[in-house]
Amino acid sequence: MTVATQLNHKKELRSVPPPKLPSIVDIKNAIPAHCFIKDTFTSVRYLIQDLLLMAALYLILSPVEHYFGWLGLFAWYWAYGFVGFALFVVGHDAGHGSFSDYEWLNDICGHIAHAPLLAPYWPWQKSHRQHHQVCRIITLT
């Protein structure tokens, strides 16, 4: 047994206090108030923007593969995944009700956002709500 190990055995692990983590209230207070304002126009603009980007990327797939080969495809896959994730975030916001103040619009836009990703909106919304309940973050559902 080394000297360092002997010294560590003598110390109580309980003597080290756990770090103080911020509470949900602390985190919410650190976020600027304008971030909590729902703007339906901006939300719909993001949805349309992401759908148009996804369509544009789909249209250039063949020329990218033809002119740039595997390296071009790698870049295309990265860009398509990036835009797909952005579209998922829009659908995620709709599922949480932070897309707009209208539940019917949240549901319609959530379906539209999830459809190109082949992720059915209602089952995702249900399982995501269960995820928040298990994690004890019910206020965010």
pLDDT tens figures, 63-77: 999 999 999 999 999
Mean pLDDT (the chain) is: 89
Task: Look at residue 11 in the predicted model and tell me its pLDDT.
Answer: 58
Mean pLDDT of 25-34: 92
Confidence of residue 80 (pLDDT cuts 50, 70, 90): very high
CA distances (Å), 99 to each of 13, 14, 40, 95, 106, in order?
46, 45, 7, 8, 6
Three-state SS at 84: helix
Three-state SS at 28: helix
Chain centre distance of CA 115: 16
Given a cut of 90, whether residue 78 has pLDDT beyond it is yes
Task: Look at residue 17 in the predicted model and tell me its pLDDT.
Answer: 74
CB atoms within 10 A of CB 35: 7
Mean pLDDT of 101-111: 97
The Cα 53–Cα 137 span in angstroms is 33
